């Protein structure tokens, strides 16, 4: 499916907000983890370092943008709970239907 210029522009505009919300959730998880008094500081430090290293590669944090991959990127972001299908309401019906079709196929 070819992505319209409008959908491509909208995706680029929305992605940073979706990622910001996702990272806000990560920061809260990190804070809760660090506030756990049951583990020694050294253990928390190294576990957090490992987790951040892994999380930095997550699409909710960083993505390579390619117009040809927008549909698959959106599907992946929904599956990973970075965004939801409801967040696509301003996108074209064609894009929404294609994303929905792919999501339903993989259930």
Q: What angle (nearest 5°) sits at the alpha carbon of residue 19, between those of residues 43 and 25?
A: 40
User: Residues 31, 36, 42, 45: what is their CA dihedral angle, to the nearest 10 degrees?
Assistant: -20
How far is the C-alpha of 100 from the C-alpha of 86, rounded, in Å?
11
How far is the C-alpha of 85 from the C-alpha of 81, rounded, in Å?
10
Give pLDDT tens digits along the chain (107 positions).
789 999 999 999 999 999 999 999 999 999 999 998 899 999 999 999 999 999 999 999 999 999 999 999 999 999 999 999 999 999 999 999 999 999 999 77
Q: What is the pTM of this model?
A: 0.84
């Amino acid at each position: 499916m070819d992505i319209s210029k409008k959908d491509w522009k909208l995706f680029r505009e929305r992605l940073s907000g979706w990622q910001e919300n996702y990272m806000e959730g990560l920061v809260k998880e990190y804070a809760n983890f660090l506030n756990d008094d049951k583990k020694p500081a050294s253990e928390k430090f190294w576990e957090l370092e490992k987790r951040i290293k892994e999380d930095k590669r997550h699409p909710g944090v960083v993505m390579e943008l390619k117009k040809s991959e927008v549909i698959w990127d959106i599907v992946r972001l929904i599956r990973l709970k970075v965004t939801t299908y409801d967040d696509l309401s301003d996108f074209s019906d064609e894009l929404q239907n294609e994303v929905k079709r792919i999501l339903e196929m993989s259930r």
